[in-house]
Amino acid sequence: MIRILIAEDSRVVSVLLKTIFEQEPDMQVVGQAMNGEEAVRMARELKPDIVTMDIRMPVMDGFEATHHIMRETPLPIVVISISINDEEMNTTFRALEEGALAVIEKPVGISHPDFEDNRRDLVNTVRAMSEIRVVRRRPDTDGHSPSFRSGLAGRRPEVIAIGCSTGGPQALLAVLKGLRADFPVPIVVTQHMTKGFVGGLIAWLQKHTPLTLRLAGDRQLLEAGAVYFAPDEHHLLVERGADGWLYTRLDQGAPTNALRPSVTRLFHSVAHAAHGAAVGVLLTGMGEDGAEGLLAMRKAGCHTIVQDNASSVVYGMPGAALAIEAVDEVVGLGKMAAYLTDAVLRPIPV
């Protein structure tokens, strides 16, 4: 039985969430906190398996509550937020920085045509996140950083492709804030994200990196020092134009691995377009998306790396890539930015 603590100051929304969860045979609501201070106390006293956390609450907001819970009694936290509010969106991603695992939009009312989809997404997210063992992780900063070992046959990468899911926002923050403003190649990113939140993710990350972050459009020229994110409900692909330059392409084709955008679709496109001159990076995430695509990149002569287990929130995606021998090197999150910088700046061997 999954024991859930609801932190939500609206009684109407709290009752709706309780109704949704208790219709599931494996879920039980053990407490309903009306503000962040109550949530911290009830998390300590009730020891739930997971907390659903509103952001805007009286006395103590969801960011502060997440901060205290993750330091006192670390456990899985899913942020339930309103995506249209910029201030709340920023606070939502700050909560992820503090250790919350995922963000999902507040469910609409029962009479709304999207209610069933919202309900299913909420239940599935809470069920999946409740299984994650939460600990206080810190990026591995000690010891020698692995240096780039090229599989590019003497060629510098033309593009870096990154894929991630659960824990991805925090991992992307660690990587992007460590890269310099004159980073000489473009980066393309597919992050599994609840619909409506990718814009907020970009805005939050932009505060912490000198790189230029963009929501990818169709047929955009990939520019050095820019990071392109897959938009909602579109596969982000890379293709080579007739002029020899690399461009984005957006595709609304069928989901791959039940996902759109799909990391595997991105990696396959890079394997084809970059002719081996690329680096594929698979960060923390649940499931297996990206593993087959990373293997395609490796077979095409690209260099492939995954985040290590110790610094990952969930090791599903990196672990799946390792299992099929799609990986050239495993790199800790705290060393990833330095590793990628070495990959694009190192002298080309003669």
Q: Does 243 participate in catalysis according to the annotation?
A: no
Question: Where would I find the beta strands (DSSP E) of the chain?
Answer: 2-7, 27-33, 50-53, 77-81, 102-105, 159-164, 187-191, 212-215, 226-229, 235-240, 246-251, 278-282, 303-307, 329-331
Per DSSP, what are the bridge partners of residue 304? 280
Per DSSP, what are the bridge partners of residue 120? none
Task: Please state the φ and ψ torsions of residue 173, each to the nearest 5 degrees.
Answer: -60, -45
Q: Does 192 participate in catalysis according to the annotation?
A: yes
Q: Rounded to an integer, what distance in angstroms lies between the CA atom of residue 16 and that of residue 40?
A: 22
Residue in 14, 83, 130, 165 annotated catalytic: 165
Lookup result for tokens 């201070």 = 37
Residue in 14, 83, 130, 192 annotated catalytic: 192
Tokens of 347: 């002298």
Q: Rounded to an integer, what distance in angstroms lies between the CA atom of residue 248 and that of residue 236?
A: 7
Residue in 289, 308, 311, 328 annotated catalytic: 289
Give the torsion through C-alpha atoms of 238, 241, 246, 251, to 10 deg.
Answer: -20
Determine contact, residues 260/241, Cβ cutoff 8 Å. no
Q: Does 289 participate in catalysis according to the annotation?
A: yes
Chain CA centroid to CA 5, Å: 24
Q: Active-site residue numbers?
A: 165, 192, 289
